[in-house]
Amino acid sequence: MTRPNIVLIVADDMGYSDLGCYGGEIRTPNLDRLGRCGTRMTQFYNTARCSPSRASLLTGLHPHQTGIGILASPSRAGGYDGDLNDRCVTIAEVLADAGYATSLSGKWHLSASVWKPSNSWPTRRGFDDFFGTLSGCGSYYDPSTLRRGEADASTEARDPAFFYTDAITDHAVGFIRRQADAQRPFLAYVAYTAPHWPLHAPEEDVAGYDGVYDAGWDELRGRRLQRLRAEGLLGPESSLSTRDTTQPPWDAAQHKAWEARRMQVYAAQIERMDRGIGRILDQLVTSGIRDDTIVVFLSDNGGCAETLPLGAPEEFRAKREIVPPATRDGAHLRIGNEPTIDPGPEDTYASYGVAWANLSNTPFRLYKRWVHEGGIATPFLVHWPAGGLASGHIVRTPFQLTDVLPTLLDAADVDYPRENRGREVPPPEGRSMLPALRGAQVPDATLFWEHLGNAAVRRGRWKLVSEYRGRWELYDMDGDRSEMNDLAHRHPGLVTELAAEYQHWARRVGVLPRA
């Protein structure tokens, strides 16, 4: 058979409803076309945070089995290695052994060492071609830990035209062009940092959203849910969760122009990424390999409610004059005694805040780091014309990240190895999604999550979930996807049963108790 090419695209900290084809008002025409002409999933789940999600995506294992139980870190955070271990194998290693060319464009974030090469660097975990960053986040104008292969590439960011999202796209397009010319099957892993903070975007992109967010988060959450239902992705089982109780209603919010500006920059980051994805899709067409290429898109976690200081970091503040209180001139605004700067330019470093993250995760509640739906539900798009996928199909069966590697290996007709680097590796935890993607009805599997003590198990319609040091909550996903009506008190036996399943799984995969 002709082995398909694979383009695996990951967004960073993007919520469930941000894309146009998932109900958002952000302009994402390329991903919208990909989703509506391909296959979309309504209940695909990530692992709540960047490093663990990437570890699970690339290995088919739960993150605890890979050494990345919390984050890539040299400090053994939570007792985990904090480093992608040699007891797992990446999809790049498996496909490289099968004759694929392999490339990573963008963020790695699976190595405890980001300055000195180690065996957990992408260049030593199956990726022949690497351009990107080893750390978790940073400036889009001057990203830290930028590498080309294992060589420092920081001088490339000195070009005044450099913007990291565009540079990731440039590298991916070049790799695809070369492999298509060589007629060699390839894996292009494209790991954007957009729209992870800091909120950085060219001003012309930000200006394109003038007025779009003036209606505020309450009105826009309702509109997004209406569009999600119109797209056929959600139904009456998914009510609009209540606004985060820590946030004011939009009518009572202060500094609305500044708040709207934050969301404008976030939207501009996503649109810029979508524009780059359009270039990747165009290259597939130009190279004549569109139909034989599997394109997958997802986000590594839900919208991020992490709130950075309202202003720029101290080292940036010296570069700008801060105007007196209660006045505004261009980008400057003072809120109380805290000087702030409109985000977007290179000398700012901001996040978009809790209320806008609540919008991103419409209609769900909670955020990145939690394993309630707002933290783990992601858009998931698959496009593969030659693969027998039903055009415009919507898959409602729940799946999670451990299912991606088995699916791609199944599509490529490549066997998973029994060992890696002379050590036996555990089999993938997931299953191939190909039958479901091709329109077949498949049975549900039991799904599990844990991050920072937040825990969940889902079996069929039932989801048992708890926050760290909280009690178990039970939700009927068929009638309450937004997790608004806790039924634990009505079904104590089911709570006990599912909790026991979770504990068995946690022991088996090496979940460590949080101190």
Return d(Cα 125, Cα 68) in angstroms, integer: 15
* 446-465 exposure pattern, b = at least 16 Cβ within 10 A, e = fewer: ebbbbbbbbbbbbbeebbbb
Catalytic residue among 62, 64, 109, 200: 109
Side-chain-side CA neighbours of 42 within 13 Å: the count stands at 20
d(CA 390, CA 440): 10
**3-class state of residue 103 by DSSP:** strand
Query: What crossing angle do the helices spanning 404-412 and 50-59 adopt, rounded to 10°?
Result: 30
Helix (H, G, I), strand (E, B) or coil at 91: helix
Pair 293, 384: CB distance under 8 Å: yes
**Taking CA 69 as the corner, what is the angle to CA 66 and CA 74, rounded to the nearest 5 degrees?**
90
The answer to whether the Cα torsion of 209, 214, 215, 220 is positive or negative is positive
Active site annotation includes 109 = yes
Q: Which of 50, 200, 372, 383 is catalytic?
A: 50
**What residues contact 160, with CB distance under 8 A and at least 6 apart?**
none
Helix, strand or coil, per DSSP, at residue 477? coil
φ/ψ (deg, to 5) at 107: -80, 135
Distance CA 408, CA 393 (A): 19
Distance (Å, whole) CA 259 – CA 30: 27
Is 64 catalytic? The answer is: no
Active site residues: 50, 109
